[in-house]
Amino acid sequence: MDASKYDKNFNIKSDNTDGLEYYGIPCEPFDLYGVFYEEKTGRFVRMPSDAAKEISRATYGLNSNTAGGRIRFSTDSERICVSVKYETLSSRPHMSLMGGSGFVLSEERGDRTVFVYSFMPDHYANDKQTVTENGYTITKKVNDGKLKNYILYFPNYNDVTELIIGLDSGATVGHGKKYKAFKPVLYYGSSITQGACASRADNSYSALISKWTDTDFINLGFSGSACGEEKMAEYLAGIDCSVFVCGYDYNAPDPEYLKKTHYAFYRTYREKRKDTPIILISNPDTDENRNQAEERVEIIKRTYTAALAEGDKNVYFIDGKTLYGEADRENCTVDGIHPNDLGFYKMATVIYGKIKEILGEIVCE
């Protein structure tokens, strides 16, 4: 992607007056995960737009939300600039602007991932950033000139039509740390899977598990729109993954709909992916409307027990009631539905335990 054709200020050259060299993503040597740039639509997406459109209008609309997107790279640049363009800034009342629309930079130190800086959009220009009608540019000194490995997380809820990274002219830049040689973990589900309402994109449960296991992941959470469509099951079955985590029941409009779709969704996926481990998860929000919540859990359990009866030895079940645990349950959400960082941390701990059970110590050591 040639950034210069979009903005004269972002010609990719090393002698800019600000002393930065700019890289339009995607480009070498920046390693892109979880999203890809689609030339036809001019934005980063999580699945091909044509496939998303076949599933539902809502899936197509949310496909350009960049949940799960990451860039890994290495550099000794003292400054890192992130310049972003979008069509509309995602601003939701129950979600932080950072979590929904910001980029998160972390440093990878051995087996630890350490937070460095939040490239946080603002409604107004200030001394830290330049804000335009459809984007922002922020430059931050983050390094003392040592070669370091970084990971930059895309926002959970914003579209991104352009991303440019600026580094000091003459700085070393290379590929980032590689994930373990495991296929990615695949997640499908509701807004909770997409990452609502983590304060930062790297605090969603899928991102936390990726940090703890050093494995790649694909986030196909669709806020309010994960309805277990057959075409979605077919699409998911086309993705080669190490584990498939399925938790879409919250978006089923009622238990009857869930009953009609859940086992069928499992069967469609399993017909193509004979041996991929599947983790079936029920919704963690069980304190409100308890009777219906319990009915939904039983429906998912029936899919699980039916799969076991058919001889499926690679299917697992997590009862959503266990995801927050008993202690401090009331502190795990922002609105009684969507997890905050504490809620996501507790969810990640339980799901990580199941992935460790499946994949073993090699991936979870």
Please state which of the ranges 20-29, 188-197, 285-294 shows the lowest mean pLDDT.
285-294
Give domain 3-175's CATH architecture: Sandwich (2.60)
Share of the chain above pLDDT 70, in %: 88
Rg over alpha carbons for the chain, rounded to the nearest Å, is: 21
**Beta pairing class for 70-75 and 148-153:** antiparallel
**pLDDT at 122 (0 to 100):** 72
Q: What's the distance, Cα to Cα, between the start and end of the chain in Å?
A: 38
Encoding tokens for residue 143? 């390094």
How is residue 100 annotated by DSSP? H
Q: Specify which residues 129 forms β-bridges with.
A: 126, 138
Q: Is the dihedral of CA 96, 101, 106, 112 positive or negative?
A: positive
| pLDDT digit string, tens, across residues 91-108 | 666 777 877 899 999 999
pLDDT at 228 over 60: yes
Distance of CA 6 to the CA centre of its chain: 27
CA dist 150 and 203 (Å) reads 16
Encoding tokens for residue 17? 């007056």
Backbone angles phi, psi at 257, to 5 degrees: -65, -45
Give domain limits for the chain.
3-175, 185-364
H or E element, residue 204: none
Helix, strand, coil content of the chain in percent (nearest 5) = 30, 25, 40
| pLDDT digit string, tens, across residues 186-225 | 999 999 999 999 999 999 999 999 999 999 999 999 999 9
The total number of residues written for the chain in this structure: 365
| pLDDT digit string, tens, across residues 138-190 | 999 999 999 999 999 999 999 999 999 999 999 999 999 999 978 999 999 99
Distance of CA 280 to the CA centre of its chain: 19
Among 253, 235, 239, 237, which residue's Cα sits nearest to residue 190?
253
SS3 299: helix
Q: What is the chain's mean pLDDT, rounded?
A: 90
**pLDDT at 16 (0 to 100):** 55
Q: Is the dihedral of CA 96, 56, 187, 176 positive or negative?
A: negative
Encoding tokens for residue 301? 């359990």
CA dist 180 and 214 (Å) reads 6
| pLDDT digit string, tens, across residues 246-281 | 999 989 999 999 999 999 999 999 999 999 999 999
Question: What is the assigned CATH class of domain 185-364?
Answer: alpha beta
CA dist 141 and 77 (Å) reads 9
pLDDT at 311 over 70: yes
pLDDT at 123 over 70: no
| pLDDT digit string, tens, across residues 35-57 | 999 999 999 999 999 999 999 99
**pLDDT at 291 (0 to 100):** 66
Q: Is 255 left (phi over 0), alpha (psi -120 to 50) or beta?
A: alpha
**pLDDT at 9 (0 to 100):** 38
Instruction: Check: CB of residue 238 under 8 Å from CB of residue 205.
Output: no
